[in-house]
Amino acid sequence: MKNFENIVAKNKGTVTIQDLSGYTMIGRGADGSIFQLTPEKCVKIFVNEDTQKKELNALQLGQSSPIIPKLYEYGENYIVMEFVKGSNLKHHLRKEKKLSEEIVGKILSMLDEMKAVGFTRLDIEVRHIFFNELGEIKVIDLKRAYITDRSVPTKLLSGLKKLGYLEEFLKHVNQLSPSKFKAWKNLVIE
């Protein structure tokens, strides 16, 4: 972490991917790249500063929530946050080959928590739902969490359909939250 702090100081608050050549890259997407800094921390380097601001605002808004990774520090084009030790829902399903009622209950609670935090986009992708070592949910990639209005988790449902778990998911939703099941059962999911 000390080396990272030196990089930030040297670059006057910005960081490049090249600056982090000594760190392990743990993810890469259209918005940026993520590197593990310590066993507890990772840094996301953003391509676009506007995207960084949106994600930072969502992380700041959600700091009181157990589903949001802890925010440590940030600069013009980066955010240092909690490194979630565990796997995402997609990897979990591929490993376990089933979707338990317990996991569905945690997902439904996560959606309720996102709403309670004030997020207007309750639609989250399967690959952005992580389970830490204790089996608790953490949500990543929150840049559209409160700038997009989507109260139905169509991306989640679509991702579950692609993985072959939509029917099982909805069966559990019907048991746990009949009102959500009623709202979601007739959606056209691609």
Q: Where are the domains of the chain?
A: 2-82, 86-183
Q: Which two tokens stand for residue 113?
A: 């928590």
At 39-88, the pLDDT tens digits run 999 999 999 999 999 999 999 999 999 999 999 999 999 999 999 999 99
Using pLDDT thresholds of 50, 70 and 90, give the confidence band for residue 5.
confident
Edge-to-edge strand list for the sheet holding 71-74: 24-28, 32-36, 41-46, 78-82, 71-74
CA distances from 148 to 17, 58, 70, 109, 114 (A): 29, 12, 22, 20, 13
Residue ranges of alpha helices (H) inside the chain are: 2-10, 49-61, 89-96, 101-117, 154-163, 166-176, 178-184
For position 29, what pLDDT does the model report? 87
Q: Is the pLDDT of residue 190 over 70?
A: no
Angle at the Cα of 114 (from 187 to 141), degrees rounded to 5? Answer: 90
Using one digit for the tens of pLDDT, what is the confidence trace for 97-120? 999 999 999 999 999 999 999 998
Predicted local confidence at residue 80, as pLDDT: 97
Q: Could you tell me the two tokens for 131?
A: 């389970």
Which CATH number fits the domain 2-82, given the four candidates 3.40.630.10, 3.30.200.20, 3.40.50.880, 2.60.120.560?
Answer: 3.30.200.20
Instruction: Tell me the per-residue pLDDT of 17-44, one tens digit each, with 9 for 90 and over.
Output: 999 988 999 999 889 999 999 999 999 9
The one-letter code for the residue type at 161 is K
What is the spatial distance between Cα 166 and Cα 171, in angstroms, rounded to a whole number? 9
Would the pLDDT of 148 be above 80? no
